[in-house]
Amino acid sequence: MLRADVVVLGAGVVGLACARALAACGREVYLVEPEAGVGRGTSSRNSGVIHAGLYYPRDSWKARLCVAGARQLYDYCETAGVPYERSGKWVLATAASELSALESLATSARLNGAVVEWTSAAELARQEPALCAHAALWSPGSGIVSVPDLLEALLRDARDDGAELVLGQRAVGVRRVADGWEVALRAADGSPRDDERVHARAVVNAAGHAAPAIARLAGVDLDALCATPRFYRGDYLSVSPSAPRPRCALVYPLPQQHGLGVHLTRDLGGSVRAGPDAYAVSEPDTRLSLLSPEQWEHKADAFAASLRRFLPGIEAQHLQPEFAGVRPKLVRADGSSDFLLLGPADAGAGCVHLLGVESPGLTACLAIAEWVATRLETRTTRS
Ligand SMILES: Cc1cc2nc3c(=O)[nH]c(=O)nc-3n(C[C@H](O)[C@H](O)[C@H](O)COP(=O)(O)OP(=O)(O)OC[C@H]3O[C@@H](n4cnc5c(N)ncnc54)[C@H](O)[C@@H]3O)c2cc1C
């Protein structure tokens, strides 16, 4: 049996941030990832947006960790040389009937500590001739980050402080033993001949879509917590350079129940994409071929119709299927969804489960890692 100080399960942006924070405190970290590289799950299938904390109910996990995480992430990008842009973002009321919802959003954003500025239709038209709306919120604290560079920087830091990354192995069991936790590992291709057991003083479950199943293996009763894991897929379509485009990288309508509404984002390379939408799926499957060519055509029509509400002139032929991501939601009894971070008090001494880490998990990764390091009674020397 191998012995480790802390085993971190999952090398997405959250697991990497946790590995980095724990290694910086002098913990010996064993980071386990089934894929052949880091960040190949949801962490590389998102919008790459640094959210400012506009949308989430006050005092929710998402609100607190997003606002703190955005601040930490901007600082980290600056010091670690990770490319980013504090681009700002528009949220638009595309009809007079949406004005009160935009006002409510402004109120909840401010309660969360996010800065937003009310902008009239005339002022928006002056600043953004391609856009039209009845009013807009300007969020100067929103931005975009290069996710591959962020993943690389987090891994580099963790390794510099001694963390060991093991690829091609997945956790298939986690159980409490007298003096810590026993983690059963199996080769990602399923071959049992490579089975291994690791004895660890502490375990951090940052396995994304697989995190609820691992938590159950470790004895967590999610039903008792009234928390149900659900997958919500979101599809992205690339926007051709010939389409009308706004000046700002980030343009959003008002949010919807499971997503932020079909919006426009630009990455640091200048590519513009539309999406994601949000629909329930039974598996976290991101293949484009899950939709038929007719379904993609229908989606391009629907996306173009949504976008035309604020970007006149955009047409379905400007849009091409690009990629998809799946949100690992944890839905509560009242239909809301939030992160659920279980520390040693709930998960057992030395154990942490990070559940339901959908958007804004990328933004929040450093704040989540700080929370984890604190719960495992260590001191972070980096933020
Ligand atoms: C469509 C979409 C758009 C988004 N846009 C944004 C955005 O703009 N801004 C933002 O802040 N957030 C956004 N998010 C959310 C963000 O992408 C996630 O919150 C974040 O990537 C979660 O990181 P993670 O490390 O928890 O999960 P993941 O990246 O999924 O990493 C989990 C890792 O665990 C590994 N794993 C799986 N099973 C096991 C096992 N048994 N043992 C060990 N390891 C295992 C996986 O291989 C994976 O690498 C978006 C999400 C989606 C789906």
Regarding the beta carbon of 220 and ligand 1, being less than 6 Å apart is answered no
Cα(138) to ligand 1 centroid in Å equals 28
Same-fold call for 2-65+148-226+336-375 versus 88-140+228-332: no
| 380 pLDDT above the threshold of 60 | no
pLDDT digits (tens, 9 = 90+) for 42-51: 999 999 999 9
Percent of the chain at pLDDT > 90 equals 93
Give the tens place of pLDDT for each residue, 187-204. Answer: 998 877 778 999 999 999
Dist. CA 116 → ligand 1 center (Å): 28
pLDDT, tens only, 339-358: 999 999 999 999 999 999 99
The domain ranges of the chain are 2-65+148-226+336-375, 88-140+228-332
Q: How far is the CA of 41 from the centre of ligand 1 (A)?
A: 5
Q: What average pLDDT does the segment 26-46 reach?
A: 97
Write the pLDDT tens digit of every residue in 231-289: 999 999 999 999 999 999 999 999 877 777 899 999 999 999 999 999 999 999 999 99
C-alpha to C-alpha distance for 287 and 298, rounded to whole angstroms:
17
**Does residue 79 surpass a pLDDT of 50?**
yes
Q: Class assignment of domain 2-65+148-226+336-375?
A: alpha beta
- Beta-carbon contacts of 345 under 8 Å, excluding residues fewer than 6 positions away, are none
Any atom of ligand 1 within 6 Å of the Cβ of 358: yes
Q: Is the pLDDT of residue 32 over 70?
A: yes
Q: In the structure, what pLDDT confidence band is assigned to residue 383 with cuts at 50, 70 and 90?
A: very low
| 359 Cβ below 6 A of ligand 1 | yes
Residue of 136, 125, 340, 325 lying closest to 229 (CA atoms): 340
The pLDDT of residue 256 is: 79
> Percentage of residues in the chain with pLDDT exceeding 70?
98
Q: Which atom of ligand 1 is nearest to the CA of 327?
A: 53
Residue 259: what pLDDT? 73
Which pLDDT score, from 0 to 100, does residue 279 have?
95
Residue 15 and residue 9 in contact, taking contact as beta carbons nearer than 8 Å: yes
Q: Best of 16, 42, 326 to mutate for ligand 1, by most ligand atoms within 8 A of CB? A: 42
Q: How many A from CA of 223 to the centre of ligand 1?
A: 23
CB-ligand 1 contact for 12 (6 Å cutoff): yes
Mean pLDDT of 357-381: 88
Closest CA to 299 of 262, 260, 245, 255: 262
pTM of the model: 0.96
pLDDT at 11 over 50: yes
Distance 45 CA to ligand 1 centre (A): 8
Is the pLDDT at 12 greater than 60? The verdict is: yes
Is any atom of ligand 1 closer than 6 Å to the C-beta of 169? Answer: no
Ligand 1 atom closest to the Cα of residue 69 is 11
Question: What would the CATH number be for the domain defined by 88-140+228-332?
Answer: 3.30.9.10
CA distance 278 to 296: 14
Atom of ligand 1 minimally distant from the CA of 32: 43
